[in-house]
Amino acid sequence: MINSPTSSHQINAAIHHLVKKVFKGNIKIHQLTDELNQWYVQFMHAYDDSLNYISSINAFLWATQRLVNHLYPDDVVWTDELAREFVYELKRYYPQYIDDKANHVHQEQDNSHSLQLYLSQLFTHHKRLLFVRVDLKYHTCSQGQISVRDFHKHMTVLKQRISNQKSCFKNLQGSAWALEQGGEDGGLHCHLLLIYDGFKQVNGWTVAKAVGKKWADITEGYGTHFNCHDQTYTSCYEVSGKLGIGMIHQDNEQEVNNALRTSSYLTRPSKYDQKLKVWLPNKRTFGHGQYRTKKRRGLPPISK
Protein backbone atom coordinates (compact mmCIF):
# COMPACT_ATOMS: atom_id res chain seq x y z
CA MET A 1 0.00 0.00 0.00
CA ILE A 2 1.13 3.54 -0.77
CA ASN A 3 0.62 6.59 1.44
CA SER A 4 0.47 9.80 -0.56
CA PRO A 5 -1.23 13.20 -0.13
CA THR A 6 -2.45 12.78 -3.71
CA SER A 7 -3.31 9.19 -4.51
CA SER A 8 -1.99 7.51 -7.64
CA HIS A 9 -5.64 7.10 -8.69
CA GLN A 10 -6.17 10.87 -8.58
CA ILE A 11 -2.95 11.40 -10.52
CA ASN A 12 -3.97 8.92 -13.22
CA ALA A 13 -7.44 10.46 -13.48
CA ALA A 14 -5.89 13.92 -13.82
CA ILE A 15 -3.49 12.74 -16.56
CA HIS A 16 -6.37 11.10 -18.44
CA HIS A 17 -8.41 14.31 -18.41
CA LEU A 18 -5.37 16.40 -19.34
CA VAL A 19 -4.77 14.27 -22.43
CA LYS A 20 -8.47 14.52 -23.35
CA LYS A 21 -8.34 18.31 -23.15
CA VAL A 22 -5.26 18.44 -25.39
CA PHE A 23 -6.85 16.15 -27.98
CA LYS A 24 -10.02 18.27 -27.97
CA GLY A 25 -8.12 21.55 -28.07
CA ASN A 26 -9.82 22.63 -24.85
CA ILE A 27 -6.76 23.91 -23.01
CA LYS A 28 -4.57 26.97 -23.45
CA ILE A 29 -0.80 26.65 -23.48
CA HIS A 30 -0.21 28.43 -20.18
CA GLN A 31 -2.83 26.21 -18.52
CA LEU A 32 -1.19 23.13 -20.01
CA THR A 33 2.19 24.30 -18.73
CA ASP A 34 0.78 24.68 -15.22
CA GLU A 35 -0.80 21.21 -15.29
CA LEU A 36 2.34 19.57 -16.63
CA ASN A 37 4.33 21.13 -13.80
CA GLN A 38 1.66 19.99 -11.34
CA TRP A 39 1.30 16.38 -12.47
CA TYR A 40 4.38 15.20 -14.36
CA VAL A 41 6.69 14.60 -11.39
CA GLN A 42 3.93 12.95 -9.33
CA PHE A 43 3.02 10.71 -12.26
CA MET A 44 6.59 9.61 -12.91
CA HIS A 45 7.11 8.71 -9.25
CA ALA A 46 3.83 6.75 -9.15
CA TYR A 47 4.23 5.00 -12.53
CA ASP A 48 4.60 1.21 -12.36
CA ASP A 49 5.69 -0.53 -15.57
CA SER A 50 4.39 -3.88 -14.32
CA LEU A 51 0.80 -2.62 -14.67
CA ASN A 52 -1.41 -1.98 -17.69
CA TYR A 53 -2.49 1.60 -18.35
CA ILE A 54 -5.28 3.17 -20.39
CA SER A 55 -4.22 4.54 -23.80
CA SER A 56 -4.40 8.19 -22.71
CA ILE A 57 -1.85 7.59 -19.96
CA ASN A 58 0.41 5.59 -22.27
CA ALA A 59 0.26 8.47 -24.75
CA PHE A 60 1.21 10.93 -22.00
CA LEU A 61 4.16 8.78 -20.95
CA TRP A 62 5.46 8.27 -24.48
CA ALA A 63 5.09 11.92 -25.44
CA THR A 64 6.83 13.28 -22.34
CA GLN A 65 9.65 10.75 -22.56
CA ARG A 66 10.38 11.76 -26.15
CA LEU A 67 11.01 15.25 -24.79
CA VAL A 68 12.54 14.94 -21.31
CA ASN A 69 13.63 11.34 -20.86
CA HIS A 70 17.24 12.50 -20.45
CA LEU A 71 16.31 14.37 -17.27
CA TYR A 72 15.43 13.11 -13.80
CA PRO A 73 11.70 13.87 -13.24
CA ASP A 74 12.37 16.28 -10.36
CA ASP A 75 14.67 18.33 -12.62
CA VAL A 76 12.06 18.85 -15.32
CA VAL A 77 10.57 22.34 -15.60
CA TRP A 78 7.82 22.72 -18.17
CA THR A 79 7.80 25.99 -20.11
CA ASP A 80 5.23 27.20 -22.63
CA GLU A 81 7.65 26.31 -25.43
CA LEU A 82 8.13 22.78 -24.09
CA ALA A 83 4.38 22.44 -23.60
CA ARG A 84 3.83 23.27 -27.29
CA GLU A 85 6.29 20.53 -28.21
CA PHE A 86 4.39 18.20 -25.91
CA VAL A 87 1.15 18.91 -27.78
CA TYR A 88 2.86 18.06 -31.07
CA GLU A 89 4.28 14.81 -29.70
CA LEU A 90 1.06 13.80 -27.95
CA LYS A 91 -1.02 14.12 -31.08
CA ARG A 92 1.08 11.37 -32.67
CA TYR A 93 -0.82 8.98 -30.40
CA TYR A 94 -4.32 10.24 -31.13
CA PRO A 95 -5.13 7.28 -33.44
CA GLN A 96 -4.29 4.80 -30.65
CA TYR A 97 -6.54 6.76 -28.29
CA ILE A 98 -9.45 6.63 -30.76
CA ASP A 99 -8.89 2.92 -31.37
CA ASP A 100 -8.96 2.26 -27.62
CA LYS A 101 -12.26 4.12 -27.25
CA ALA A 102 -13.73 2.12 -30.14
CA ASN A 103 -12.48 -1.15 -28.64
CA HIS A 104 -14.05 -0.16 -25.35
CA VAL A 105 -17.42 0.36 -27.03
CA HIS A 106 -17.24 -3.01 -28.80
CA GLN A 107 -16.19 -4.80 -25.60
CA GLU A 108 -18.99 -3.22 -23.58
CA GLN A 109 -21.50 -4.14 -26.29
CA ASP A 110 -20.31 -7.74 -26.12
CA ASN A 111 -20.47 -7.66 -22.32
CA SER A 112 -23.98 -6.20 -22.46
CA HIS A 113 -25.19 -8.89 -24.84
CA SER A 114 -23.68 -11.62 -22.64
CA LEU A 115 -25.23 -10.16 -19.48
CA GLN A 116 -28.68 -9.73 -21.03
CA LEU A 117 -28.63 -13.34 -22.26
CA TYR A 118 -27.54 -14.57 -18.83
CA LEU A 119 -30.31 -12.65 -17.03
CA SER A 120 -32.93 -13.77 -19.55
CA GLN A 121 -31.94 -17.38 -18.91
CA LEU A 122 -32.38 -16.84 -15.16
CA PHE A 123 -35.86 -15.46 -15.74
CA THR A 124 -36.86 -18.56 -17.70
CA HIS A 125 -36.11 -20.70 -14.65
CA HIS A 126 -37.35 -18.56 -11.72
CA LYS A 127 -40.80 -17.08 -11.12
CA ARG A 128 -39.51 -14.52 -8.62
CA LEU A 129 -36.04 -13.03 -8.38
CA LEU A 130 -34.77 -10.43 -5.94
CA PHE A 131 -32.42 -8.03 -7.77
CA VAL A 132 -29.96 -6.41 -5.37
CA ARG A 133 -27.64 -3.58 -6.40
CA VAL A 134 -24.84 -2.26 -4.24
CA ASP A 135 -21.84 -0.10 -5.13
CA LEU A 136 -18.66 -1.09 -3.31
CA LYS A 137 -15.96 1.54 -2.90
CA TYR A 138 -13.43 2.95 -0.43
CA HIS A 139 -13.60 5.77 2.07
CA THR A 140 -12.34 8.96 0.47
CA CYS A 141 -9.66 9.35 3.12
CA SER A 142 -8.41 5.81 2.34
CA GLN A 143 -7.96 6.14 -1.42
CA GLY A 144 -4.26 6.97 -1.13
CA GLN A 145 -3.70 3.81 0.89
CA ILE A 146 -5.35 1.41 -1.55
CA SER A 147 -3.39 0.29 -4.59
CA VAL A 148 -4.91 -1.36 -7.64
CA ARG A 149 -3.33 -4.60 -6.39
CA ASP A 150 -5.24 -4.22 -3.14
CA PHE A 151 -8.43 -3.64 -5.12
CA HIS A 152 -8.00 -6.81 -7.17
CA LYS A 153 -7.11 -8.78 -4.02
CA HIS A 154 -10.25 -7.56 -2.27
CA MET A 155 -12.35 -8.44 -5.32
CA THR A 156 -10.85 -11.93 -5.46
CA VAL A 157 -11.91 -12.54 -1.86
CA LEU A 158 -15.37 -11.10 -2.52
CA LYS A 159 -15.92 -13.34 -5.55
CA GLN A 160 -14.86 -16.35 -3.49
CA ARG A 161 -17.43 -15.45 -0.84
CA ILE A 162 -20.09 -15.05 -3.52
CA SER A 163 -19.19 -18.45 -4.96
CA ASN A 164 -19.41 -20.10 -1.53
CA GLN A 165 -22.99 -18.77 -1.12
CA LYS A 166 -22.84 -18.42 2.64
CA SER A 167 -24.14 -15.73 5.02
CA CYS A 168 -25.43 -12.75 2.99
CA PHE A 169 -24.87 -14.70 -0.26
CA LYS A 170 -27.12 -17.61 0.74
CA ASN A 171 -29.92 -18.36 -1.76
CA LEU A 172 -28.00 -16.52 -4.49
CA GLN A 173 -28.99 -17.51 -8.03
CA GLY A 174 -26.85 -15.15 -10.09
CA SER A 175 -24.39 -12.27 -9.98
CA ALA A 176 -22.54 -9.73 -12.11
CA TRP A 177 -19.86 -7.16 -11.37
CA ALA A 178 -18.00 -4.33 -13.09
CA LEU A 179 -14.84 -2.60 -11.89
CA GLU A 180 -14.58 1.11 -12.58
CA GLN A 181 -12.80 4.28 -11.54
CA GLY A 182 -14.27 7.67 -10.74
CA GLY A 183 -13.88 10.21 -13.50
CA GLU A 184 -13.01 13.13 -11.21
CA ASP A 185 -11.53 11.77 -7.99
CA GLY A 186 -10.17 8.54 -9.49
CA GLY A 187 -11.88 6.47 -6.81
CA LEU A 188 -11.86 2.71 -7.39
CA HIS A 189 -15.25 1.03 -7.11
CA CYS A 190 -17.30 -2.00 -8.08
CA HIS A 191 -20.88 -2.05 -9.33
CA LEU A 192 -22.29 -5.30 -8.00
CA LEU A 193 -25.52 -7.04 -9.01
CA LEU A 194 -26.76 -9.96 -6.92
CA ILE A 195 -29.81 -12.02 -7.86
CA TYR A 196 -31.54 -14.10 -5.19
CA ASP A 197 -34.33 -16.66 -5.08
CA GLY A 198 -37.34 -14.40 -4.56
CA PHE A 199 -39.10 -16.97 -2.41
CA LYS A 200 -36.21 -17.11 0.08
CA GLN A 201 -34.94 -13.51 0.12
CA VAL A 202 -37.40 -10.63 0.03
CA ASN A 203 -35.72 -7.45 1.32
CA GLY A 204 -33.16 -5.90 -1.02
CA TRP A 205 -32.15 -3.08 1.34
CA THR A 206 -31.29 -5.51 4.15
CA VAL A 207 -29.28 -7.75 1.84
CA ALA A 208 -27.37 -4.82 0.31
CA LYS A 209 -26.53 -3.52 3.78
CA ALA A 210 -25.19 -6.96 4.78
CA VAL A 211 -23.09 -7.11 1.60
CA GLY A 212 -21.69 -3.68 2.38
CA LYS A 213 -20.73 -4.91 5.85
CA LYS A 214 -19.04 -7.94 4.28
CA TRP A 215 -17.06 -5.61 1.97
CA ALA A 216 -15.94 -3.54 4.96
CA ASP A 217 -14.71 -6.73 6.65
CA ILE A 218 -12.87 -7.93 3.52
CA THR A 219 -11.14 -4.56 3.14
CA GLU A 220 -10.27 -4.35 6.86
CA GLY A 221 -12.35 -1.23 7.31
CA TYR A 222 -11.08 0.68 4.26
CA GLY A 223 -14.20 -0.12 2.25
CA THR A 224 -17.62 1.48 2.28
CA HIS A 225 -20.70 1.12 0.09
CA PHE A 226 -23.76 2.77 -1.41
CA ASN A 227 -27.04 0.93 -0.91
CA CYS A 228 -28.97 1.36 -4.16
CA HIS A 229 -32.16 0.33 -2.33
CA ASP A 230 -32.21 3.48 -0.22
CA GLN A 231 -35.69 4.99 -0.50
CA THR A 232 -34.33 8.44 -1.34
CA TYR A 233 -32.63 6.90 -4.38
CA THR A 234 -35.39 4.55 -5.56
CA SER A 235 -38.44 6.78 -5.04
CA CYS A 236 -38.12 8.67 -8.35
CA TYR A 237 -37.79 5.39 -10.27
CA GLU A 238 -40.85 3.99 -8.50
CA VAL A 239 -42.92 7.06 -9.39
CA SER A 240 -41.91 6.86 -13.06
CA GLY A 241 -42.45 3.10 -13.20
CA LYS A 242 -38.80 2.42 -14.06
CA LEU A 243 -37.57 0.72 -10.89
CA GLY A 244 -35.42 -2.23 -11.93
CA ILE A 245 -34.24 -3.58 -8.57
CA GLY A 246 -36.04 -5.33 -5.75
CA MET A 247 -38.54 -8.13 -6.34
CA ILE A 248 -38.95 -8.95 -10.02
CA HIS A 249 -41.69 -11.32 -11.17
CA GLN A 250 -41.23 -13.48 -14.23
CA ASP A 251 -44.79 -12.84 -15.47
CA ASN A 252 -44.54 -9.04 -15.16
CA GLU A 253 -43.07 -7.80 -18.44
CA GLN A 254 -42.48 -4.26 -17.20
CA GLU A 255 -40.59 -5.44 -14.12
CA VAL A 256 -38.44 -7.77 -16.20
CA ASN A 257 -37.68 -5.07 -18.77
CA ASN A 258 -36.84 -2.59 -16.01
CA ALA A 259 -34.48 -5.11 -14.41
CA LEU A 260 -32.72 -5.77 -17.71
CA ARG A 261 -32.39 -2.04 -18.44
CA THR A 262 -31.12 -1.23 -14.95
CA SER A 263 -28.59 -4.07 -15.07
CA SER A 264 -27.20 -2.71 -18.34
CA TYR A 265 -25.62 0.13 -16.32
CA LEU A 266 -22.77 -2.30 -15.60
CA THR A 267 -21.89 -2.47 -19.30
CA ARG A 268 -22.70 0.97 -20.70
CA PRO A 269 -20.39 1.77 -23.68
CA SER A 270 -20.60 5.53 -23.01
CA LYS A 271 -18.72 5.19 -19.70
CA TYR A 272 -15.21 5.28 -21.18
CA ASP A 273 -14.12 7.86 -18.61
CA GLN A 274 -15.17 5.43 -15.87
CA LYS A 275 -12.85 2.75 -17.21
CA LEU A 276 -10.00 1.70 -14.92
CA LYS A 277 -6.98 3.86 -15.72
CA VAL A 278 -4.61 1.13 -14.52
CA TRP A 279 -5.08 -2.57 -13.88
CA LEU A 280 -3.17 -5.81 -13.35
CA PRO A 281 -2.26 -7.75 -16.50
CA ASN A 282 -4.69 -10.56 -17.35
CA LYS A 283 -7.25 -9.37 -14.80
CA ARG A 284 -10.86 -8.96 -15.89
CA THR A 285 -12.86 -5.83 -15.11
CA PHE A 286 -16.29 -7.38 -15.78
CA GLY A 287 -17.88 -10.74 -15.18
CA HIS A 288 -21.09 -12.59 -14.38
CA GLY A 289 -22.11 -16.01 -13.16
CA GLN A 290 -22.80 -19.04 -15.33
CA TYR A 291 -26.36 -20.13 -15.99
CA ARG A 292 -26.92 -23.70 -14.92
CA THR A 293 -29.49 -25.70 -12.99
CA LYS A 294 -29.43 -29.06 -11.30
CA LYS A 295 -31.63 -30.43 -14.09
CA ARG A 296 -29.29 -29.58 -16.95
CA ARG A 297 -27.46 -32.62 -18.23
CA GLY A 298 -23.66 -32.75 -18.15
CA LEU A 299 -23.12 -30.26 -15.32
CA PRO A 300 -22.38 -31.03 -11.67
CA PRO A 301 -24.94 -29.87 -9.10
CA ILE A 302 -24.54 -26.35 -7.77
CA SER A 303 -22.87 -26.48 -4.38
CA LYS A 304 -24.64 -24.77 -1.51
Residues 40, 90: Cα–Cα separation, whole Å: 14
| CB neighbours of residue 43 within 10 Å | 21
Query: Regarding predicted confidence, which is higher, 142 or 6?
Result: 142
Q: Which pTM does this prediction carry?
A: 0.91
Give the separation between CA 102 and CA 1, rounded to whole angstroms: 33
Instruction: Pick the range with the lowest mean pLDDT from 32-41, 72-81, 145-154, 294-303.
Output: 294-303
> What average pLDDT does this structure show over 91-117?
97
> Cα dihedral sign for 22, 20, 14, 27?
positive
pLDDT-derived band at 294 (thresholds 50, 70, 90) equals low
Q: How confident is the model at residue 255 (pLDDT cuts 50, 70, 90)?
A: very high
Rounded mean pLDDT of 99-109? 97
Least confident window among 116-125, 147-156, 179-188: 179-188
Residue 144 is predicted with a pLDDT of: 86
The residue-averaged pLDDT of 109-136 equals 97
Residue 300 confidence class, pLDDT cut points 50, 70, 90: very low
pLDDT at position 301 is: 45
Three-state SS sequence of the chain: CCCCCCCHHHHHHHHHHHHHHHHHCCCCHHHHHHHHHHHHHHHHHHCCCCCEECHHHHHHHHHHHHHHCCCCHHHCCCCHHHHHHHHHHHHHHHHHHHHHHHHHHHHHHHHHHHHHHHHHHHHHHCCEEEEEEEEEEECHHHHHHCCHHHHHHHHHHHHHHHHHCCHHHCCEEEEEEEEEECCCCCCEEEEEEEEEECCCCCCHHHHHHHHHHHHHHHCCCCEEEEECCCHHHHHHHHHHCCCCCEEEECCCHHHHHHHHHHHHHHHCCCCHHHCCCEECCCCCCEEECCCCCCCCCCCCCCCC
175-196: pLDDT as tens digits: 999 999 987 778 999 999 999 9
pLDDT score of 297 more than 50? no
Mean pLDDT to the nearest integer, 80-90? 98
The pLDDT score that the predictor gives to residue 20 is 97
